[in-house]
């Protein structure tokens, strides 16, 4: 019985190319009580592997958070499979605005303590007592009101390349950092202001809206389906698009363009750019914004040191990495002293 991915990214790419089928990238989430997350996880893997589903999904006792890709001709089969699970029946699937057959190259379903790490240890907090969901049209109307404060519940490297007009964009690395910071900043407006929140697909602001209601905020709203669903509705209903720039996504695409505005700069030269990349030095792998000119000059690296390393032979690079665990360093998101034009 196969319960884990066994193919490398390159092997999977070759299979996708050979199959010659268009794939669809989508995301979904649901807060629900899952009695045995590990058993549920294993069942999902067996069912999804049959449908050639790839992607990253987290399962916890509080619910599920999925970001996956699958062959377009298997989409209805995937819906039917989800509908066999009571709390996932007729769940909204957020279809990506831009498609890429290689957005995901492995199927990873992981059991976590929580589907969104919040750092909370409060047994009285009920994530199901959320704020009011609003659609794109309602969001635009509330956004324009003078008694509204709009907050981006994403991290700094996400909001840097795109956000809603007038939004507060916390300079945080993780979701758990944002909750106490926002509460402290907005505490005087608990009763007098509308608190309007958004994130990529809705999962973070769903938990955040419940948290702020728990903390006594009275008028709490969240953008249903997040930026992904907002973009779909704006296009379908011909609404005014109030999102500027790109929407950061957690797959190989790294972002989707929502408007033609470029609101960020290359972290190396300061010229307008909103293209995220990872440093080509695998012992670094720093995520940062890099324009095409700097990419060419630096061989897709973040510093002269990393450029020197990537021009060594593979054997020499492996030798350098011996005994040097990369850990957190490998997954830093856009913060490093080598990035001259990035706020640290």
Pairwise CA distance, residues 255 & 93, whole Å: 18
φ/ψ region of 20 (left if φ > 0, alpha if ψ in -120 to 50, else beta) reads left
Provide DSSP, 201-266: SSHHHHHHHHHHHHTT-SEEEEETTHHHHHHHHHHHHT----EEEEEE-SSTT-EEE-SS----B-
The alpha helices in the chain, defined as continuous H runs, are 9-19, 37-50, 75-83, 136-144, 156-159, 175-186, 203-214, 226-237, 292-298, 304-310, 314-321, 327-330
Pairwise CA distance, residues 11 & 298, whole Å: 28
Examine the residue annotation and report whether 199 is marked as an active-site residue of this protein. Answer: yes
Dihedrals φ, ψ of 203, to 5°? -70, -40
Active site residues: 199
């Amino acid at each position: 019985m196969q319960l884990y991915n066994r193919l490398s990214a390159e092997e999977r790419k070759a299979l996708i190319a050979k199959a010659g089928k268009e794939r669809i990238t989508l995301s979904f989430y649901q807060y629900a009580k899952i009695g045995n997350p590990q058993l549920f996880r294993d069942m999902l893997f067996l069912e999804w592997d049959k449908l050639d589903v790839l992607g990253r999904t987290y399962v916890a006792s509080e619910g599920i958070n999925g970001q996956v890709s699958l062959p377009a001709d298997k989409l209805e089969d995937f819906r039917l499979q989800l509908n066999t699970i009571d709390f996932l029946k007729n769940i909204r699937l957020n279809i990506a605005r831009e498609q890429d057959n290689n957005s995901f190259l492995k199927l990873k379903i992981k059991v976590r303590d929580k589907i969104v790490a919040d750092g909370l240890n409060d047994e009285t907090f009920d994530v199901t007592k959320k704020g009011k969901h609003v659609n794109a049209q309602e969001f635009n109307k509330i956004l324009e009101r003078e008694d509204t404060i709009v907050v981006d519940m994403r991290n700094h490297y996400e909001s840097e390349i795109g956000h809603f007009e007038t939004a507060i964009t916390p300079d945080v690395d993780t979701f758990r950092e944002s909750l106490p910071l926002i509460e402290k900043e907005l505490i005087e407006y608990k009763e007098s202001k509308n608190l309007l929140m958004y994130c990529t697909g809705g999962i973070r602001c769903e938990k955040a809206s419940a948290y702020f209601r728990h903390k006594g905020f009275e008028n709490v709203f969240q953008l249903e389906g997040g930026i992904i669903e907002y973009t779909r509705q704006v296009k379908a209903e011909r609404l005014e698009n109030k999102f500027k720039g790109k929407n950061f996504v957690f797959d190989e695409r790294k972002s989707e363009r929502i408007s033609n505005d470029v609101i960020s700069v290359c972290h190396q030269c300061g010229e307008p750019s909103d293209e995220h990349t990872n440093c080509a030095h695998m012992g670094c792998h720093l995520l940062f914004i890099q324009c095409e000119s700097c990419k060419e000059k630096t061989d897709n690296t973040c510093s002269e040191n990393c450029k020197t390393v990537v021009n060594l032979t593979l054997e020499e690079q492996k030798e350098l990495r011996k005994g040097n665990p990369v850990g957190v360093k490998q997954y830093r998101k856009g913060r490093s002293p080598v990035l001259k034009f990035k706020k640290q």
